[in-house]
Amino acid sequence: MMKQRLDILIKGAAELLTLNSGLKGPRSGDQIGELGLIHQGAVGIKGDRIVCVGTTDQLLRETEVDERTRVIDASGKVVTPGLVDPHTHLCFAGTREDEFEERIKGATYQEIEARGGGIRATVQRVRQATKEELIQLALPRLERMLNYGTTTAEVKSGYGLNLNDELKILEAIKELNHSQPIELIPTFLGAHQVPEEYRERRGDYIELLTKEVIPQVAERRLAEFCDVFCEEAAFNREESEKILLTGKRFGLRPKIHADELSPYGGAELAAEVGAISADHLVYTSPQGMKRMKETGVSAVLLPGTSYFLNSPRYAPAREMIQEEVPIALATDLNPGSCMTESMPLIINLACLKLKLTAAEAIVAATINAAWAIGRGENIGSLEKGKLADVIIWGFPHYRILPYHFGVNLVEMVIKAGRVVVERRGRS
Ligand SMILES: [Zn+2]
């Protein structure tokens, strides 16, 4: 047998978390904590793909390393797949640190909204911005995400709330996808909020979305998913269903902001319309969880949002695991309710606030997050044939990831076979 020549060999990893369990689909129930851990692990990369994974001895025997191969010594380090952030609103203009302080003084998110803050404030800033300005504002955020280990991210529109501004955001996301290393998966979220000018005639806004905006977004192939903020204060169940089913007819798979502020039946709706994921789920009912499990809807949990809004209430993650609903983690990066790019911070919060183990949180931030955005076949684990998205961490045991918090312990990030982050002068 001819030995395979490698472009990159990562060898000697104290702990290589492959996240490979032989399953075709997200992990749930008893399997949620399976890391596929290999001691003294190694990964071989050729072009943009992983070509072999195993122990260092095995790979040194079975592959060919020549003077063009970059050999990376990962001894004393943990190696994992790149992190996947399956829920962000990273394409925005303007920040809302004033609201952060108002909340500290006791105002609620809803009160701030009623005073003209909230999503409305960001919509105003985004409408004033050009596409080029949106791109320039998003680039440093993406750079921070990459530095903290995110190699794939979903991004939603939803701060335009009219035809031209929604298209502008989605076009900015499309250009951003080609101008930096993180792969971006676009979601249309025209139903984020009813815009000011349609407050008295919300039916007309639903018409605009279903008759004009969704068809154009689909025709220009600017989004893969269609999302709705299904909540008393945003879009009711009937409106949400209409928008999601229209999106589905145009080839956009449904996603839902569900049961974030109240038990509103968003999880049940996600099951009914065949959504790929329901997100937030802070108030989801046991019945909603059962329906999600039956229909294969992933739960995307956003503990950073409860934390940032200073809410005592978090999604019932342990009950979801019990009910065998697959759970994923995301930042929810946005200027109002969760201003962070850091998935490692979210992993820390998932352990402390959602009561996940380190292993469960790592599964939820990699392979399960990949399935929640339809990328499970291609990313989220270190397996032969998958995209070579790899992180080398500056610690020897994976349990240190949530434990040593608030600092960046990523030493190297490889995206699609290219070293894109390299810190502390590693060779
Ligand atoms: Zn969101």
Q: Cα(158) to centroid of ligand 1, in Å?
A: 9
| Helix, strand, or coil (residue 280) | strand
Model pLDDT, residue 159: 98
Q: Do 64 and 3 touch, CB atoms closer than 8 A?
A: yes
Task: Spell out, as residue ranges, where the chain has pLDDT lower than 70.
Answer: 1, 425-427
Residue the block writes with tokens 């339809």: 374
Ramachandran category for residue 357: left, alpha or beta (phi over 0 → left; psi -120 to 50 → alpha)? beta
Q: Cα(10) to centroid of ligand 1, in Å?
A: 36
Q: Cα(97) to centroid of ligand 1, in Å?
A: 18
Model pLDDT, residue 2: 75
Q: How far apart are CA 185 and CA 221, in angstroms?
A: 12
Q: Cα(302) to centroid of ligand 1, in Å?
A: 9
Residue type, 397: H
Task: Please give the domain boundaries of the chain with CATH numbers for all domains.
Answer: 4-82+380-422 (2.30.40.10), 84-372 (3.20.20.140)
Q: Cα(260) to centroid of ligand 1, in Å?
A: 10
| Helix, strand, or coil (residue 62) | helix
Q: How far apart are CA 176 and CA 197, in angstroms?
A: 30
Model pLDDT, residue 427: 43
| Helix, strand, or coil (residue 104) | helix
> Which tokens sit at 324?
């065998």
> Which tokens sit at 204?
């007309």
Q: Cα(12) to centroid of ligand 1, in Å?
A: 39
Kindly report the CA angle at 44 between 41 and 50, in degrees rounded to 5?
A: 110
Model pLDDT, residue 247: 98
Q: How far apart are CA 307 and CA 290, in angstroms?
A: 26
For 282, what's the count of Cα atoms within 13 Å in the CB-facing half-sphere?
18
Q: Cα(227) to centroid of ligand 1, in Å?
A: 9
Q: How far apart are CA 329 and CA 305, in angstroms?
A: 11
Residue the block writes with tokens 């608030």: 406
Q: Cα(404) to centroid of ligand 1, in Å?
A: 27
Q: Cα(78) to centroid of ligand 1, in Å?
A: 31
Q: Cα(332) to centroid of ligand 1, in Å?
A: 5
> Which tokens sit at 288?
């909603």
Q: How far apart are CA 98 and CA 110, in angstroms?
A: 15
Q: Cα(402) to centroid of ligand 1, in Å?
A: 23
Kindly report the CA angle at 374 between 379 and 383, in degrees rounded to 5?
A: 20
By C-alpha distance, which of 223, 235, 222 is closest to 191? Answer: 235
Q: Cα(159) to centroid of ligand 1, in Å?
A: 11
Q: Cα(87) to centroid of ligand 1, in Å?
A: 6
Q: Cα(8) to centroid of ligand 1, in Å?
A: 37
DSSP assignment of 340-389 equals: ---HHHHHHHHHHHH---HHHHHHHHTHHHHHHTT-TTTSSS--TTSB--
Q: Mean of the per-residue pLDDT values for the chain?
A: 96
Q: How far apart are CA 11 and CA 335, in angstroms?
A: 40
Model pLDDT, residue 110: 82
Q: Cα(88) to centroid of ligand 1, in Å?
A: 6
- pLDDT tens column, 21-33: 888 899 999 999 9
Q: How far apart are CA 53 and CA 388, in angstroms?
A: 11
By C-alpha distance, which of 316, 263, 272 is closest to 294? Answer: 272
Q: Do 28 and 327 touch, CB atoms closer than 8 A?
A: yes
Q: Cα(216) to centroid of ligand 1, in Å?
A: 23
Model pLDDT, residue 425: 52
Pairing of strands 183-191, 225-230: parallel
Q: Cα(259) to centroid of ligand 1, in Å?
A: 12
Q: Cα(267) to centroid of ligand 1, in Å?
A: 15
Q: Do 91 and 157 touch, CB atoms closer than 8 A?
A: yes
Q: Cα(162) to centroid of ligand 1, in Å?
A: 18
Q: Cα(277) to centroid of ligand 1, in Å?
A: 12
Q: Cα(330) to centroid of ligand 1, in Å?
A: 9
Q: Cα(86) to centroid of ligand 1, in Å?
A: 10
Model pLDDT, residue 261: 87
Q: Cα(211) to centroid of ligand 1, in Å?
A: 24
Alpha-helical runs (H) found in 105-162: 109-114, 119-128, 131-147
Q: Cα(192) to centroid of ligand 1, in Å?
A: 9
Q: Cα(70) to centroid of ligand 1, in Å?
A: 40
